[in-house]
Amino acid sequence: MDFKVFFATFGMIFLAELGDKTQLATLTFAAESKSRLSVFLGSAGALALTSLLAVALGSFINRFIPPNYIRVGAGVLFIVLGGWMLLFPGK
């Protein structure tokens, strides 16, 4: 196991997830539910599954596209989506 990659991934994902809509949705479910364990397990399971899908997709894409292009493409996509959200806010 590469602990440098582990801790870098953990730190970046932890910071990225703080205060995002997934965390706020989980907070809302926990506030409304009497079964906080069910909320935690459902939330943790969903995050684990989405991470599994991201790792699988990243491994597959890496066979065809160099990692630098993937990084640049992800950055451009974040900028485009951010601009889209600023220009066309939901109602």
Residue 91 has pLDDT above 80, yes or no: no
Q: Are 70 and 78 in contact (CB under 8 A)?
A: no
Residue 88 has pLDDT above 90, yes or no: no
Residue 15 has pLDDT above 70, yes or no: yes
Q: Which domain range does residue 74 map to?
A: 3-87
Report pLDDT digits (tens) over 20-78.
Answer: 888 889 999 999 999 999 999 999 999 999 999 999 998 999 999 999 999 999 999 99
- How many domains is the chain built from? 1
pTM score of the predicted model: 0.69
- pLDDT for 2 equals 93
Query: Helices 36-62 and 67-87 sit at what angle, rounded to 10 degrees?
Result: 130
